Structure 1
Amino acid sequence: MTVPDLSLLTAEDLEVLLAAATAAPSIHNTQPWRFHADPVTRSIEVHRAPQRALPLTDPACRAQYLSVGAAVFNLRLAADRLGRRPVVRLLPRPDQPALLAGVRLIERPYPRERWGPALYQAIARRHSSRMPFTGRPVPGPVVAELTRAARVEGAWLRVPAFAGIQRVLRLTAAGESRNVADSGRAAESRTWVTPPGAGAYGIPVTALGPRDLAGRIPLRDFAAARRTRRAPALRFERHTQLAVLCTAHDRRVDWLRAGQALQHALLVATAHGVRTSMLHQAMEWPDLRHALRGTQQRRCCPQLLIRFGYGPEGGWTPRAPAELSTGGPLGRPGGTDGPPRGEAGSPSLAAEPGPPVIARVTEPPDHRIP
């Protein structure tokens, strides 16, 4: 069998890679990533974007690391689609703390990952649904597949029983109450709520979803000062299905692994027609996050809560066109260090059958990475 020459990476390949990466979920849709192509190592570097941090909601930047980890997982899937084997190094340069991951793309003259095509196709369909679910339980084999997906990435999903779910929801409600009462945090969250079509960052009001009429599910009230724009309250599912994403340790590298585990599980859910949304409020308060550890003997550092079930899609959130810097050390790629919002015209993921080519590269179309 003749092995094709995969030693060159075209600009079109880069667009596929970055379009997939930027489709990853991020807290408040801040999209806290920057990309750099290293022609020496033939890798895509993923850097944290400090200007898109949430100093009150996420002071340790833990949620930022989860978001970047999710983008890294999408890069891996896109590399597999291009016939490359992605080799990931997390925190590769201690002297560059903003460099969180390097994804080297090497020739791979053997079959693609068995899960790659299905999960790659799920990238464009995956998004958070803040709508009520039907209450129909997700079958045990599907839940088991979600837990396996997280375990492959070095994390695990703890699926509580009914009493545990009620406890988790109470802790989440306590975190939400504190966030609403904290004027600084509430204002910080509101800055990331945008009118429809206003920009490529943040969450459009149309994607917020309604409040729970029964008050069982404590959804984040992003628009506390804009209640007139909120959809009427609806009754959510009586029996909520939740999973706690955990890691054994709580280091920066564990946050990045948790982000990859999160995205792997979310895409498996999407491939099975299961809707998901994330609950983060309890993670934002150290005492509540500690209480989520539970009483298990196994060490558990909670990273995120995932609500899952069957129901409507919910609203779509936009993505900013990614810009890629190439050549020497990463500087300030044009457009990525601007204000959090205000870049209009970014296409939505909703209209595309696969990850849309929304990336913009800084080199001419015939550019190659040797």
Structure 2
Amino acid sequence: MERHSIVPRPGWQRTVEEQGLIYPLTRHPDGSLRPYWDESAYYAFTLDEVEALEEVVEELHRMCLAAADHIVTAGRFADLGITDPRVAEAVAESWHRRAELPSVYGRFDLRHDGTGPAKLLEYNADTPTSLVEAASAQWFWMEDRFPGADQWNSLHERLVAAWKKQAPLLPPGAPLYFAHSSADELGEDLMTVAYLKETAEQAGLDTDWISMEEIGWDTLSGRFVDNNLRFIRGIFKLYPWEWLTTDGFAGHVLDTLDNGGGTGSTLWIEPAWKMLLSNKALLAVLWELYPGHPNLLPAYLDGPRELTATTGYVAKPLLGREGEGVTIHEPGTAPVPREDPCCYQQLAPLPAFAGNHTVLGAWVVDGEPAGLGIRESSGLITDEYARFVPHAILGTI
């Protein structure tokens, strides 16, 4: 794993925008616009490195499913902040019926420097983004810059195959809606949903658009409807379950939830059991079940324990994205009380390549490793100002 500088392609911004990456720049607090898509560098891997990372992702995904089963079997929903009995019941039923429910994709965030074992930082299995740049933009970049090279990137074909495989689980005779929140100002959620919709269409599915804010409720039929009052029987949403189960329509969502077997009127993708994997409490449960595992970092829910004096720790809100609410505590510093429920994970600073702190985003589609996206940040927390940097497998260049 090596980072190399390279001259960006002429007209790169227009090129990636035409490929669906309509958010190639990020506005920083000082008002400046700087590249989010950063092709002034790339990461090179050997095929052996990629194959080893694929094995890690397979193992982590298997362990996460075992942890989810443990949470449900032991009834540990409160550890995840799920205190509403109806929500806990819906998640448990979703888990038990998971074979009947479509589940498409997720993204592991890993700490890896190319030398030691990769370490799990978190698993976003409900609403992961950075998909367009990982699946599309970096593939076309590689074809332009290194014709004939390879990349850890089978995202597109695996997504199409996943939709084909899971099509029989979808409600028959109705379109599959694709929804994002209209509050998305950058267009990242919009284009992620648009790309997933495209892969579903290539799989032969009938699809339609709707925003979360446009979803209506028909009081006469007791069902969700679109702008034309058509029943919404199946919908992919880039909208977190923790919002879906707490906003104004939460009661209707739970009342009409199709958790397999035709028990409800609306099938949501990703399914409710993904709440078990996208919660940072999962990290602590994993450490309980697999203490000392080489691909895990020590993590706890009741406080940082020995991490305060030894390695230091990172406090992560159970529900949060793009580094929001994450705090770093160096070894020997006094613990800082948190009012919000947190997971306390061992501090493992992101490796620095030419001063850039790097995190690997390893994608899973239909339960299988599918690709890699790399983000860099100026600090140790990967936040909304991080940059996406493409990669290639060096042995094929």
Same-fold status (TM-score > 0.5): no
TM-score by length of 1: 0.28
Structure of higher RCO (CA pairs closer than 8 Å, 6+ residues apart): 1
Return the index of the structure with the highest Cα Rg. 2
TM-score by length of 2: 0.26
